[in-house]
Amino acid sequence: MSSLLKLSVAVLVSSVAVGAYAQQKLVPAQSEIVFVSKQMGVSVEGRFKKFDAQLNFDPAKLDTSKVSFTVDMASATLGVPETDAELPKPTWFNLGKFPQATFVSSSIKALGGGKFDVAGKLNIKGQVRDVVVPVSMVQTGPSTVASGVLPIKRLAFKIGENEWADTSMVADDVQVKFKFNLTGVGKL
């Protein structure tokens, strides 16, 4: 095969592969990110209403797969207007300086049965931490649902500073629960 023909075939294969991943998308209307903590011993649930994902996930090629998420921190709500008015302030999310939280994967490990460990960097309020996110994936037709729970320590991300650093008022442990409806993911 001539080198020009080899190059043409390589470009064609690459463009087909890139085109397949360009179709991978998050369906926000069918997805959610919820955070659960305890305030004075009572469970409190909030949610983020705006977030996005960039996907290049191939279950057959995990070593080259990447996922990243961006969360609009201003979209956080606990469902109580007075409390929601506090979240943008420097003590909590400091939206003037940190309008987004991000997660960028560094590796993905298959555990079998549609389960994966996704390692990467979580950046909230300028604090970057290495995390491993356990993810379960289920496919139904063209749709893939990725879900899981990521436990974090809010104080490690400086969420609830000064008088709010007292964990007897607001617990340090936060469960970040997610369900992402994805399209374009290859067969698991």
Q: pTM for this structure?
A: 0.85
Instruction: Please report, rounded to a whole number, the percentage of residues in the chain having pLDDT higher than 90.
Output: 85
Read off the pLDDT band of 73 (50, 70, 90).
Answer: very high
Structural domain boundaries of the chain?
A: 25-183
3 state DSSP class of 110: strand
Question: The domain 25-183 belongs to what CATH superfamily?
Answer: Lipid/polyisoprenoid-binding, YceI-like (2.40.128.110)
Angstrom distance (rounded) from CA 29 to CA 20: 22
Angstrom distance (rounded) from CA 117 to CA 161: 31
CA angle 179, 188, 147 (to 5 degrees): 10
Read off the pLDDT band of 23 (50, 70, 90).
Answer: confident
